[in-house]
């Protein structure tokens, strides 16, 4: 299992047509390259998943959960969605720098 750790801001994406918003951290740079290589040599051998996503286990502070990361064209990296339960458990909010580890 490969692990990659980054510290990056938590940011909000707001839908233009709905009241919903989602929170993400962006995994970029060397960590993004590592995620890409780990995914390509492992789970992608049987084909890519929805939206080119890769299944990961994520960890912020004492909270660990299973999710997926999604390719992010603007940064060349990956987007990791951060659920409300994780934000609440870890006391993090939009704009906070977050240290996250993803494993795949």
> Cα(84)–Cα(65) distance, rounded to whole angstroms?
12
pLDDT band at 92 (very low <50, low <70, confident <90, very high): very high
Q: Cα-flanking dihedrals φ and ψ of residue 102, to 5°?
A: -115, 140
* Structure confidence by residue, pLDDT tens digits, 7-45: 999 999 987 777 778 999 999 999 988 888 887 766 544
* Structure confidence by residue, pLDDT tens digits, 58-87: 999 999 999 999 988 888 899 999 999 999
Domain total in the chain:
1
Residue 34 maps to which CATH number?
2.40.30.100
The pTM for the full model equals 0.84
95 lies in which domain range?
Answer: 3-103
């Amino acid at each position: 299992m490969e692990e990659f750790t980054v510290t990056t801001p938590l940011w909000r994406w707001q839908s233009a047509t709905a009241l919903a918003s989602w929170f993400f951290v962006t995994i970029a740079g060397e960590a993004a390259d590592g995620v890409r290589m780990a995914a390509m040599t492992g789970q992608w051998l049987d084909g890519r998943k929805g939206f080119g996503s890769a299944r990961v286990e994520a960890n912020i502070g004492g909270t660990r959960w299973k999710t997926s990361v999604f390719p992010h064209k603007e940064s060349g990296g990956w987007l990791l969605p951060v659920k409300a339960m994780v934000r609440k458990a870890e006391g993090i909010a939009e704009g906070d720098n977050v240290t996250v580890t993803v494993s795949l």
